């Protein structure tokens, strides 16, 4: 809990004041990762990539990589927190998967932590989806992201039989959304990666996939359209979650599915952004 406080506080402060920038929130999440690094021994020591594993043998590289990974994942969860039930269900699937593998390796401390987090998210989802009666906000998103990252690092660090690509495949959707967003903004649109835009994948699904269901501006119709976005991304995330749980020991298979997910994401994004959405995806009234 001490480790999580800076990440949560930065997001909560942004929710309340609207004046805490992306860089400031990232720095606070790096601080949270640093506390976890020294207090919990939550450190990256291997990625099953020979050259990088050699670097991670040095404490300074391990420290920097851990900060980047934990801070990046926390920020990535916040990026996909845009529609009712989206980040919440993704987080629930990740915590459940981490809990399952924790059970398989006999780590009952991590099992309890992941079960508690999954239960908390499930309780939140009852009120958040589909009616949007409460929201996680930046505070909730950064807290969930930090807990996912910290638990992932601890699981891999404490158990050599768990491939580091297992948690990476679990979080590939929010992580790739972040990388793709940086590429799109910086190199295609010439804008700062920190500025918001309206062409994330979940936003395109809202604008071009479910728009035909209700084209009115009534609040209840907007809420229904909002909630119809999330199941598309839940289904996309299952492409990574299912093989991750099945092959959590096998780095080569997990890496293969990482690239499979990236290919499917880019193909789907390209089709939707060019107004060539597959007809079987479009729900009509």
Question: Residue 12 — pLDDT band, cuts 50, 70, 90?
Answer: very high
Residue 191 has pLDDT above 90, yes or no: no
DSSP string, 63-105: HHHHHHHHHHHHHHHHHTTTSTTHHHHHHHHHHHHHHHHHHHT
Quote the pLDDT of residue 284.
Answer: 66
Quote the pLDDT of residue 215.
Answer: 66
Residue 211 has pLDDT above 90, yes or no: no
Quote the pLDDT of residue 37.
Answer: 96
Distance CA 263, CA 268 (A): 9
Residue 47 has pLDDT above 80, yes or no: yes
Are 150 and 5 contacting, i.e. CB atoms less than 8 angstroms apart?
Answer: no
List the chain domain ranges. 5-281
Residue with tokens 């590429």: 183
Quote the pLDDT of residue 155.
Answer: 97
Question: Residue 285 — pLDDT band, cuts 50, 70, 90?
Answer: low
What average pLDDT does the chain have? 93
What's the pLDDT tens digit per position in 114-173?
999 999 999 999 999 999 999 999 999 999 999 999 999 999 999 999 999 999 999 999
Residue 29 has pLDDT above 70, yes or no: yes
Quote the pLDDT of residue 187.
Answer: 84
Cα pseudo-dihedral 76, 1, 46, 160, rounded to 10: -120
Quote the pLDDT of residue 162.
Answer: 97
Q: Locate 185 and state its tokens.
A: 């903004």
Quote the pLDDT of residue 129.
Answer: 95
Quote the pLDDT of residue 88.
Answer: 96
Quote the pLDDT of residue 214.
Answer: 63
Residue 107 has pLDDT above 80, yes or no: yes
114 Cβ contact list (under 8 Å, min separation 6): 95, 96, 98, 99, 102, 151
Q: In the predicted model, what is the mean pLDDT of residues 96-100?
A: 98
Residue 14 has pLDDT above 80, yes or no: yes
Residue 247 has pLDDT above 70, yes or no: yes
């Amino acid at each position: 809990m001490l480790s999580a406080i800076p990440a949560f506080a930065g997001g909560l402060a942004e929710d309340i004041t609207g004046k805490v920038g992306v860089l400031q929130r990232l720095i606070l999440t790096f601080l949270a990762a640093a506390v976890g690094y020294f207090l919990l021994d939550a450190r990256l020591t291997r990625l099953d990539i020979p050259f990088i594993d050699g670097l991670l043998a040095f404490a300074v590289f391990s420290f920097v990589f851990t900060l980047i990974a934990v801070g990046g994942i926390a920020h990535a969860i916040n990026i996909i927190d845009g529609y009712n039930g989206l980040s919440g269900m993704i987080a629930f699937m990740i915590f459940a998967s981490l809990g399952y593998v924790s059970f398989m390796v006999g780590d009952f401390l991590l099992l309890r932590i992941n079960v508690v987090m999954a239960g908390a998210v499930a309780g939140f989802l009852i009120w958040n989806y589909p009616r949007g009666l409460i929201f996680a906000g930046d505070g909730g998103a950064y807290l969930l992201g930090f807990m996912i990252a910290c638990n992932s690092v601890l699981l891999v660090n404490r158990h050599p039989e768990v491939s580091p690509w297992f948690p990476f495949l679990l979080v590939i959707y929010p992580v790739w959304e972040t990388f793709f967003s940086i590429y799109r903004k910086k190199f295609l649109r010439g804008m700062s990666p920190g500025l918001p835009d309206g062409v994330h994948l979940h936003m395109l699904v809202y604008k071009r996939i479910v728009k035909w269901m209700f084209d009115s501006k009534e609040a209840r119709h907007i809420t229904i359209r909002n909630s119809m976005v999330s199941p598309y991304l839940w289904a996309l995330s299952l492409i990574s979650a299912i093989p991750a749980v099945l092959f959590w020991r096998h780095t080569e298979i997990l890496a293969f599915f990482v690239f499979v997910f990236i290919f499917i994401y880019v193909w789907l994004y390209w089709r939707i952004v060019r107004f060539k959405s597959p007809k079987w995806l479009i729900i009509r009234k």
